[in-house]
Amino acid sequence: MMSGFSRLGALGLLTAGALLSATACGGSGVSEVGATSDGRPEVVAAFYPLQWLTEQVGGSDVQVTGLTAPGVEPHDLELGIQQVTDLQNAALTVYVKGVQPAVDDAVDPEKSFDAATAVTTIPAGGHEHEGEEEHGHDEVGYDPHLWLDPSRMATVAGKLGERLAAADAAHAQAYRDRAATTAATLTALDQEFTKGLTTCRSRTLVTAHEAFGYLADRYKLKQVGITLDPETEPSPARLSEVAKLARAEGVTTIFTEALVSPKVAEVLANEVGAKTAVLDPLESKPSGDYVSAMRDNLKTLQTALGCTA
């Protein structure tokens, strides 16, 4: 997954980083290496939803750096020498194992928080995808897109608050308080989705790739992905299968994504007489923030599925 930067080189940097951290830290608290000049912990968030969550919970007591730049598909992230060094020097890295193999390889288990360990996960995909190559989702054995369920994100907020409190005892209560506030916001958002998606003409989502499994699981919808992964092309057999299902279930909208080419979805929509609409998997920073983008997704779903509040 790393271009211009071999696995051997990465391991060398990780070893050097670990030695530096051990020398500077002498324990599990915030080290000189993992802190800003004013003593705040430096926290690296792997991609946007985790960056938003970490900023909410960490507040002004931490310095949060997003590892994936806006507009970049997180699954495609490749790490350079400086990024690997930043990961090793951070007091904490917040990530989801299975989204970014390069990050999975580079994080220090002692100084990282895998959000997937905080919640109950669901399997990756629900069917065979003929001709598609193995990828990170298959390797971890679960769907990593847990941030698309606000109720799970609320749980992650609480766990993250505890992890930050353990790393920075001087501000422990502030982290716990902000975590509770953030969890309450996410719980309210979850209630909006539950109410808004209770009564819908259709409950089938045909999506560009299977990023919405947690949303479907939480709100009793059925996700049908054209592909399991945005990096792969669907086989003719898979396209035919999805088209047949879309016709049988009266699907009127095929969902596309901002960071993935809509061409395949548009072809499928034309074939089945449907329209397209953008459903944001929130893998990159939206025009607003996490909550506003999720509310936009709710409106999009209500229109496409014929829901009545």
Residues counted in the chain: 309
Give pLDDT tens digits for 12-28: 444 434 433 333 333 33
Distance CA 135, CA 292 (A): 31
Mean pLDDT confidence for 114-120: 98
User: Which CATH number belongs to the domain containing residue 154 in this structure?
Assistant: 3.40.50.1980
Write out the residue range of the structural domain in which residue 57 sits.
Answer: 7-20+31-185
Looking at residue 92, what is its pLDDT?
97
Pair 215, 196: CB distance under 8 Å: no
Of 185, 220, 239, which closes a domain? Answer: 185
Q: What is the pTM of this model?
A: 0.84
In this structure, the answer to whether residues 168 and 43 fall within a common structural domain is yes
Of 123, 151, 185, which closes a domain? Answer: 185
In this structure, the answer to whether residues 38 and 100 fall within a common structural domain is yes
Residues 6+ apart with CB under 8 A from 217: 122, 149
Looking at residue 169, what is its pLDDT?
96
**Does residue 270 lie within any of the structural domains?**
yes
In this structure, the answer to whether residues 166 and 201 fall within a common structural domain is no
Looking at residue 131, what is its pLDDT?
37
Looking at residue 4, what is its pLDDT?
38
In this structure, the answer to whether residues 125 and 215 fall within a common structural domain is no
Angle at 150 between CA 213 and CA 274, to 5 degrees: 45
Q: Is 141 left (phi over 0), alpha (psi -120 to 50) or beta?
A: left
**Does residue 2 lie within any of the structural domains?**
no
**Does residue 159 lie within any of the structural domains?**
yes
Mean pLDDT confidence for 292-298: 98
In this structure, the answer to whether residues 122 and 165 fall within a common structural domain is yes
In this structure, the answer to whether residues 94 and 174 fall within a common structural domain is yes
Distance CA 52, CA 40 (A): 18
In this structure, the answer to whether residues 135 and 228 fall within a common structural domain is no
**Does residue 26 lie within any of the structural domains?**
no
In this structure, the answer to whether residues 163 and 217 fall within a common structural domain is no
Of 140, 165, 185, which closes a domain? Answer: 185
**Does residue 1 lie within any of the structural domains?**
no
Using a pLDDT cut of 70, give the percent of the chain over it: 84
Give the full edge-to-edge strand order of the sheet including 42-45. Answer: 63-66, 42-45, 92-95, 112-114
**Does residue 274 lie within any of the structural domains?**
yes
**pLDDT confidence band for 138 (50 / 70 / 90):** low
Instruction: Provide the domain count of the chain.
Output: 2
In this structure, the answer to whether residues 85 and 176 fall within a common structural domain is yes
Give pLDDT tens digits for 206-261: 998 899 999 999 999 999 999 877 777 888 999 999 999 999 999 999 999 988 88
**Does residue 264 lie within any of the structural domains?**
yes
Give pLDDT tens digits for 41-66: 999 999 999 999 999 999 999 999 99
Average pLDDT score over the chain: 86
In this structure, the answer to whether residues 46 and 180 fall within a common structural domain is yes
**Does residue 25 lie within any of the structural domains?**
no
Burial (CB < 10 A; 0-12, 13-18, 19+), residue 201, is exposed
In this structure, the answer to whether residues 177 and 200 fall within a common structural domain is no
In this structure, the answer to whether residues 174 and 238 fall within a common structural domain is no
Looking at residue 39, what is its pLDDT?
85
